[in-house]
Structure 1
Amino acid sequence: MKLWLTLLISLFAAPIAAQGTATLPTTLDPNETHLIYLHGRIVEDLGPRPTDPRFGLYDYAAILEALANRGATVISSQRKPNTNVNEYAGIVVAQVEELIRQGVPPKNIVVVGFSKGGDIAIHVSSFLRRPHVRFVLLAACWPRPREPQLRLTGRVLSIYETSDTLAGDSCEPLTQHSEKPQSFTEMSISTGLSHGAFYTPAKDWMGPVLDWVHGSD
């Protein structure tokens, strides 16, 4: 497993040392899957191991470890408080383009985002418009107006929790434009844990994500 973080995370719960934007690995293997993980807003607000009174511990480090355990190179960073979604999406677009410039095939690049991180991933998909880059949206859609220009492009997997009162909506409406994603798959889970269903690497969502990331599509 490979974890690449500008902000060093101990998998034994030591705090992240600083805040910033993750740099890319110095040596890239084009045959490996390169996965950019975008965390939820709670990590911006409360740090890398936060606890919500409703949903419990957000185990950022454990999620990264699980995402890497089938051999993906995982790239992640703790964002600063009040990060602007559009600005950070631009940073991620630049990271993806740099991976491609260094020889990583677009099909080997996956952007995974949860909650606010999922909103950022949606913006990256809309800005990037590369048909073979892949996106995983976790609890990324909720009932509020979105910028009308947003649309999904690339290959997309969306997962939402049916008991989630914050972001339990389907992302399918984002596919209803003349420009459509290369592929769109959506599934729901029903854990009863609301938004907290994605706070730990539970098999309900992590299993389908890893199967999709490392599948043949």
Structure 2
Amino acid sequence: MKISLLTGILFYSTLFACGNKNDDRFVFFLHNRFLETHELEESHPDFGRTEYKEILSEFEKSGLKVISEKRNGNVNAREYAQEVVKQIDSLISSGVEPNKITIVGTSKGGYIAQYVSTLINNPNLNFVFIASYRENDIQNIPDINYCGNILNIFEKSDPYGVSAIKRKENSTCDIENFKEIELNTGMGHGFLFKPLKEWIEPTIQWANGNYEME
């Protein structure tokens, strides 16, 4: 069930207020930059169409409750993250445990997710950052501070994603679970445009609290 951010939070908050059991696990999915300024069916000249709906469908089929929306315009990552933080706070206030909430972001969406991690500063939330860390980020974006259970996924042939271990080491939050996965699809940055099992499956595992994945 894909629900836009605000509508989804209102729906679930009302549901739990009425006494429903809240054992569900939730995923906030934040898509890449290309989709901000293009329609769903438009194709990137190199990577094809962003298969946004198909990605959401894979999460839904696994039993996760998906909260997402298509962003429009070139949004400010930190400002958008502030709005996501409000939605997460509302969900937690409704009775959902933080460790049952996962924020997943691809490319620019991954940077938004990193700002969410920084701003909400909750070590029990789960995060999956996909193709969203570069070597010069510590110098260029010094205000990001990781906090939460963090999975970083990057592709060997993609110049826009590398190991984020330095960011983790520079962060002041006590990070209990941190894992990185390097893919080798040969698809460059285009790997995140599709719901490839190589990144979808570990993301679902992480959202389900499996921090000891092989």
Q: Same fold (TM over 0.5)?
A: yes
Tell me how far 1:60 sits from its aligned partner.
Answer: 0.3
Say whether residues 1:36 and 2:21 are aligned partners.
Answer: no
What is residue 70 of structure 1 aligned with on the other side? 62
Say whether residues 1:171 and 2:170 are aligned partners.
Answer: no
* Aligned partner of 2:207 among 198, 204, 213: 213
Tell me how far 1:47 sits from its aligned partner.
Answer: 2.0
Structure 2 length normalisation: TM-score? 0.88
Q: Which moved more, 1:36-45 or 1:173-182?
A: 173-182
How many correspondences in the alignment?
201
Q: Secondary structure at the match of 2:9?
A: coil
Cα distance between partner residues in 2 of 1:98 and 1:63:
25
Tell me how far 1:65 sits from its aligned partner.
Answer: 0.4
Tell me how far 1:171 sits from its aligned partner.
Answer: 1.6
Q: Which moved more, 1:111-120 or 1:200-209?
A: 200-209
Which consecutive unaligned segments of at least 5 residues does structure 2 have? none
Cα distance between partner residues in 1 of 2:41 and 2:28:
19
Q: Which moved more, 1:147-156 or 1:121-130?
A: 147-156
What is residue 114 of structure 1 aligned with on the other side? 106
Cα distance between partner residues in 2 of 1:146 and 1:108:
32
Identity %: 32
Structure 1 length normalisation: TM-score? 0.87
Q: What do residues 65-117 of structure 1 show as CA deviations (whole Å, max 9, x unaligned)? A: 00111111100011121101110010011111000000000011100000000
Does the 8 Å CA contact 1:22/1:77 hold for their aligned counterparts?
no
Amino acid at match of 2:9: L
Distance 1:22 1:60, change over 3 A: farther
Alignment of 1:128-139 (within 5 A): 128-139=120-131
Cα distance between partner residues in 1 of 2:104 and 2:120:
15
Q: Secondary structure at the match of 1:99?
A: helix
Alignment of 1:14-53 (within 5 A): 23-26=8-11, 27-28=15-16, 29-53=21-45
Tell me how far 1:214 sits from its aligned partner.
Answer: 1.8
Cα distance between partner residues in 1 of 2:209 and 2:149:
12
Higher helix share: 2
Q: What do residues 160-179 of structure 1 show as CA deviations (whole Å, max 9, x unaligned)? A: 000012x1211222112243
CA RMSD of aligned residues (A): 1.7
Cα distance between partner residues in 1 of 2:93 and 2:190:
37
Does the 8 Å CA contact 1:59/1:199 hold for their aligned counterparts?
yes
Say whether residues 1:4 and 2:3 are aligned partners.
Answer: yes
* Aligned partner of 1:92 among 62, 76, 84: 84
Cα distance between partner residues in 1 of 2:155 and 2:51:
18
What is residue 193 of structure 1 aligned with on the other side? 187
Q: What do residues 21-53 of structure 1 show as CA deviations (whole Å, max 9, x unaligned)? A: 664251255200011000001110112233111
Cα distance between partner residues in 2 of 1:171 and 1:106:
23
Distance 1:58 1:82, change over 3 A: same
